[in-house]
Chains A and B, each alone.
Chain A
Amino acid sequence: MIRKAHVASLARPLSEPEACTDAPANRAMDRYAQGDDRAFSELYDSLAPRLFGYLLRQTKNNARAEDLVQQTFLQMHCARGRFIPGANVVPWAFAIARRLLIDNVRRSGREVSLELREEAGAPPPVSTAMAQDEVVHSKQLALSIERELSRLPDAHREAFELIKTEGLTLAEAAQVLGTTVAAVKLRAHRTYQALREALGPMFERSSQ
């Protein structure tokens, strides 16, 4: 679930958001809003992996994540006529996915427990070319980060994951979470600090 590059990116201090090219998805959504049905396939290709990764990380359940991805795309399909020309489709898609997720959790009455998270913390797929100690370290760090993240408040964890894992900018994450950029920055920074304090040298080593 967590690749080495991803682990390293989590361990990097918060800085300016990395450049994220959402242009193909935006263009596809724009065309789809205008009535070009073929653009929906392109939109799916651009967004589905990110949405699925996000929802899988939140639910720890393949079937639920799949179901939520499908619902997210259907909602986008139903609302395509309202898509504003030039708007960014990514925060919108994540916001829909997040609302569906919250609703799903409320409806099912089940919270994702720590146990479930630990159970789901299966070893991440790693490159065979990696050195053995790197593999071990990466696995350990991934599990530790997962565990520490699950102990943090949801609001902090979510802000951190949207920025560091999903690659959203601070402004986009703020839109998805319905808060200010300053609040998102603070939450993500506190999460980063908490991870650094909890994981100490292991975290520092990965960030180098």
Chain B
Amino acid sequence: MKKRNAIPPAMKDRILAAAQKESSPTRTAVTLDKALLLLTAGLVAANVFLAVGGVNLGPRPLELVISTALGRGTIALTATWAACARGGSMLGRSRIWLTATTIATPLAIAGWMLLAARGAPTGVPVADWSCFTTAVLLGLPPLVAFALVHHRSGVSFPIATGAALGAAAGSWADFLMVLHCPSPEVTHRLIGHIGPTVILVALGAALGAFAIRSQVRSDYFRTDRSSIPGFNDAG
């Protein structure tokens, strides 16, 4: 008599046959794809940066720009690591970690900005909306790339992950804005340089809900189950 809870012996063969029919990329291929994606995003962002005028020192001394860029670059790298690395788990970081990343990133940028603003010389006034738009445009390519890297990754908290990725993308936009905008005015920097991070965080959260979330249902219907021998349609 067949036990109620026994695994059917044929199931293993069915699964192995189904896996053979459906090709899946190995880790090397996936890593290469990710690297290409991030490189493309970097090139797109660099093109946008050059299109809006590239590096503009203005009246700022070179040392100040370099030290500020190094500091903001470190923040951007740290934010990217905190948002993108999954902490050795396929299900991603905890919600607390991701929320902390989302909040701490703009705060760290603001803190560094206020520290650096003390010794900065007076510069040319720049329109807030211009820098705001530029920063959003600069942040979009990395955000899209980060989201694609995490596309349907099945992390436990896709919205929080997306928001953290938005903060990381915002920090890269801010890094480029440091090189581009010579205005030392704190209000302008808060609105034009850090403000876009809020937009990118919101966009990231939206991407998390739609692109990063595991779409099991779609997969279920996409798989051609009729071609799999013995694949039953119970339920």
Q: Chain A residues in contact with chain B, CB under 8 A?
A: 1, 33-35, 37, 40-41, 44-45, 48-49, 52-53, 56, 59, 61-64, 66-67, 69-71, 73-75, 77-89, 91-92, 95-96, 99-100, 103-104, 107-108, 122, 125, 175-176, 178, 180
Contacts and interface: CB of A to CB of B under 8 A. Distances in A.
6 contacts: A44-B15, A48-B12, A66-B11, A70-B231, A77-B19, A88-B89
B53 interface: no
Contacts of A89: 90
A48 B13 CA distance: 12
B78 interface: no
B119 interface: no
A88 B88 CA distance: 8
Contacts of B214: 96, 99
A86 B15 CA distance: 25
Main secondary structure of the interface of B (DSSP, over half): loop
Contacts of B154: 79, 92, 95-96, 99
A87 B24 contact: no
Contacts, number: 146
Interface of B: 3-5, 7-8, 11-12, 14-16, 18-20, 22, 24-31, 86, 88-91, 94-96, 153-154, 156-157, 214, 216-217, 219-220, 223, 228, 231-235
B235 A63 contact: yes
Contact of B90 (A1, A64, A66, A92): A92
A60 to B, nearest CB: 10
A80 B234 contact: no
Contacts of B27: 33-35, 80-83, 85
Contacts of A69: 7, 11, 15
Given A67-B235, A74-B19, 9 more contacts: A69-B11, A74-B22, A80-B27, A82-B90, A85-B27, A88-B90, A99-B214, A103-B220, A178-B91
Contacts of A99: 154, 214, 216
A106 B90 CA distance: 25
Contacts of B11: 48, 66, 69-70
Q: Which of A80, A81, A108 has most B Cβ within 10 Å?
A: A81
A94 to B, nearest CB: 10
A73 B14 CA distance: 11
Contacts of A83: 27, 90
> What are the nearest 5 A-B pairs in CB distance?
A63-B234, A81-B30, A92-B90, A35-B26, A178-B156
A34 B90 contact: no
Contacts of A64: 234-235
Given A64-B234, A78-B22, A175-B89, A122 B4 contact: yes
B217 A91 contact: no
A40 B88 CA distance: 21
A160 B176 CA distance: 50
A70 B18 contact: yes
